[in-house]
């Protein structure tokens, strides 16, 4: 039967909360991660109705997530990230709409359900396929802009001592969204995404679906200030009939937030945001083969999470950015025998990980992160970079790069956008 080790569950729990938090490109990451509350090129991957606003662009991005906010992949290690694609409007007077084609690798930055819903089997964690193809379409209809998107991720894994020894998996998402006028100095975005899993897995999928709903509004209530409320909900269940025994899990996540974007003057914008989030993860299949000491449910409540960011146009060709985020989260773990424990219990965490309670670091639960970055504007090019938080203290390894045990590189992530 499906058993989940406590260490794996704890690592998955951290990823489950951390991944949605840094849904960014380089610009948004350097501002601390408030992607839901500002307009950015990366909106096209989350707010599908914004695609017509970002046409005739070629976008490329490369970097390491750990250098841009500490994000980890499903195995708990730093994840390299690459993206390449373009958008273009077709037809006379753009009657065929705007199209976008992208390839994303280890994309921890989108709202993929599968990035934080990995399946775990006895002693084996199934890693998520890492390369995603994205095809998007959008159409501007004056008062409303519509968008559709399709993504596909395929991958396989070799599993020793199992029959079959090779497992093929694929994940598909279909999304729709709209940007619409809501009156004077007010507009909104809404998006819905459905996800499905499939592949050649022993026993097959029992349940393999997820969905996401999000909405936000921009209200410019003063010449220099915009209020941005946001709400989101996602849920999913993924379970297998075999491999090698029935297994599965389900989760739901609901969040609310609001931001104030303040134009201090023509060259400086301050961003203040706060969020509440509640996530529940639980086993979807539990029988008498699950031990009393096995975890069957985890609930995490984040109240609150704060963002603050500054974007400053220093010159016509350089923009400076700095941002920080602080979250305060409480996790409650439920075992099969009904016992409940909060992860803030240092002795329990130490026992799970197998270390001295004095060595337990709960900073990942009540996390503080900050980033600095810059944007360079040359002709039709915008080049954005996220610098290492260690840069002001160590100045990085400018000439020789970095290796194991060295500080983060000088530049953790770089994105380039060409507008033609």
Q: E strands, 288-351, where?
A: 295-313, 318-335, 340-342
Model confidence at 260: pLDDT above 80: yes
Q: Is the pLDDT of residue 273 over 60?
A: yes
Report the pLDDT value the prediction gives residue 92, as an integer from 0 to 100: 79
Determine the pLDDT at residue 122.
Answer: 35
Tokens describing residue 230: 């946001």
Considering the chain, what percentage of its residues have pLDDT values greater than 90?
A: 37
Average pLDDT over residues 380-390: 87
What is the 8-class DSSP label of residue 21?
A: H
Distance CA 146, CA 194 (A): 17
- Average the pLDDT over each of 46-60, 130-144, 310-324 and give the range with the smallest value: 130-144
Q: Is the pLDDT of residue 396 over 60?
A: no
Give SS3 for 25: coil
Ranking 288-297, 301-310, 389-398 by mean pLDDT, the lowest is 389-398
Question: What pLDDT sits at residue 389?
Answer: 73
Q: Which two tokens stand for residue 9?
A: 């569950």
pLDDT, average across residues 139-155: 90
Q: What is the pLDDT confidence band of residue 267, given thresholds at 50, 70 and 90?
A: very high
- pLDDT at res. 272: 97
Q: What's the pLDDT score for residue 235?
A: 87
In this prediction the pTM is 0.81
pLDDT tens-digit map of 203-237 = 566 667 888 999 999 999 999 999 999 999 988 87
Q: Among 29-43, 142-156, 379-393, which is the least confidently predicted range? A: 379-393
Residues 60-90: pLDDT tens digits? 988 765 444 443 333 333 456 788 999 999 8
* Tens digits of residue pLDDT in 104-121: 876 544 434 444 333 333
User: Could you tell me which residue, 231 or 401, shows the higher pLDDT?
Assistant: 231
- 172-195 residue pLDDT tens: 889 999 999 998 899 999 999 988
Q: What is the rounded average pLDDT for all residues in the chain?
A: 76
So what's the pLDDT on residue 94?
Answer: 78
Q: What is the pLDDT of residue 102?
A: 94
Q: What is the model's pLDDT at position 7?
A: 36
Give, in order, the Cα–Cα distances in Å from 344 to each of 14, 296, 360, 363, 365.
13, 18, 10, 11, 8
Instruction: State the Cα angle at 228 between 225 and 232, rounded to 5°.
Output: 170
- Coil, strand or helix at 200: coil
Q: Which of 257, 155, 236 has the alpha carbon at shortest distance from 201?
A: 155
| 155's tokens | 């991958």
Cα separation values, 311 from 169, 261, 266, 267, Å: 41, 11, 11, 8
The answer for residues whose C-beta is within 8 angstroms of residue 394's C-beta and 6 or more apart is 407
Q: Is the peptide bond before 164 cis (omega within 30 degrees of 0)?
A: yes
Contacts (Cβ under 8 Å, ≥6 apart) of 254: 232, 233, 277, 278
**What does the DSSP assignment read for 58-94?**
EEEEEEEGGGGT--B-TTSSB-EEEEEEEEEE-SGGG
**Omega into 304 within 30° of 0, i.e. cis?**
yes
341 CB burial (10 A radius; 0-12, 13-18, 19+): middle
For range 128-135, the mean pLDDT: 76
pLDDT at 349 over 80: no
3-state SS class at 37 = helix
Most confident of 51-55, 209-213, 249-253: 51-55
**H or E stretch at 15:** helix 6-21
Phi, psi of 395 (to 5 degrees): 65, 5
Looking from the CA of 332 toward its CB, the CA atoms found within 13 Å total 10
pLDDT at 340: 77
Lowest-pLDDT range of 24-38, 92-106, 311-325, 405-419 = 405-419
Res 359: pLDDT:
57
- Closest to 34 (Cα-Cα) out of 217, 368, 260, 226: 260
Partners of 296 in the β-ladder: none
Written as six digits, the tokens of 188 are 């909104």
Q: Strand 318-335 and strand 80-89: pairing?
A: unpaired
97, pLDDT greater than 90: yes
């Amino acid at each position: 039967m499906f058993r989940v080790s406590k260490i794996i569950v704890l690592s998955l729990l951290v990823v489950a909360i951390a991944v949605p938090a840094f849904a960014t490109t380089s610009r948004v990451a350097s501002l601390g991660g408030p992607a839901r509350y500002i307009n950015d090129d990366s909106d096209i991957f989350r707010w599908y109705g914004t695609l017509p606003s970002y046409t005739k662009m070629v976008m490329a991005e490369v970097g390491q997530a750990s250098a841009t906010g500490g994000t980890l992949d499903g195995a708990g290690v730093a994840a390299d990230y690459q993206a390449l694609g373009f958008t273009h409007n077709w037809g006379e007077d753009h009657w065929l709409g705007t199209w976008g084609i992208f390839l994303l690798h280890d994309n921890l930055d989108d709202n993929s359900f599968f990035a934080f819903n990995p399946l775990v089997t006895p002693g084996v964690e199934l890693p998520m396929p890492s390369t995603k193809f994205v095809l998007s379409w959008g159409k501007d209809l004056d008062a409303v802009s519509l968008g559709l998107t399709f993504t596909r991720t395929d991958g396989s894994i070799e599993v020793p001592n199992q029959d079959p020894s090779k497992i093929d998996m694929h994940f598909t998402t279909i999304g729709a969204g709209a940007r619409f006028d809501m009156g004077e100095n007010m507009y909104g975005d809404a998006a819905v995404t459905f996800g499905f899993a499939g592949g050649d897995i022993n026993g097959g999928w029992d349940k393999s679906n997820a969905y996401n709903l999000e909405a936000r509004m921009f209200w410019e209530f003063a010449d220099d200030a915009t209020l941005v409320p946001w709400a989101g909900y996602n849920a999913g269940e993924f379970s297998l009939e075999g491999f090698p025994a029935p297994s599965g899990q389900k989760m739901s996540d609901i969040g609310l937030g609001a931001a104030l974007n303040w134009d201090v003057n023509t060259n400086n914008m301050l961003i203040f945001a706060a969020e509440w989030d509640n996530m529940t993860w639980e086993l979807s299949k539990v029988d008498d083969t699950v031990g009393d000491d096995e975890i069957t449910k985890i609930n995490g409540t984040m109240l609150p999470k704060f963002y603050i960011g500054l974007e400053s146009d220093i010159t016509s060709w350089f923009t400076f950015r700095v941002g920080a985020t602080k979250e305060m989260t409480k996790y409650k773990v439920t075992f099969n025998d009904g016992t409940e424990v909060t992860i803030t219990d240092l002795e329990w965490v130490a026992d799970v990980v197998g270390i001295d309670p004095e060595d337990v670091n709960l900073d990942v639960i009540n996390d503080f992160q900050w980033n600095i970055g810059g944007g360079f504007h040359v002709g039709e090019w915008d080049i954005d970079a996220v610098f290492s938080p260690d840069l002001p203290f160590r100045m990085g390894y400018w000439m020789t790069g970095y290796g194991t045990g060295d500080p983060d590189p000088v530049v953790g992530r770089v994105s380039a956008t060409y507008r033609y």
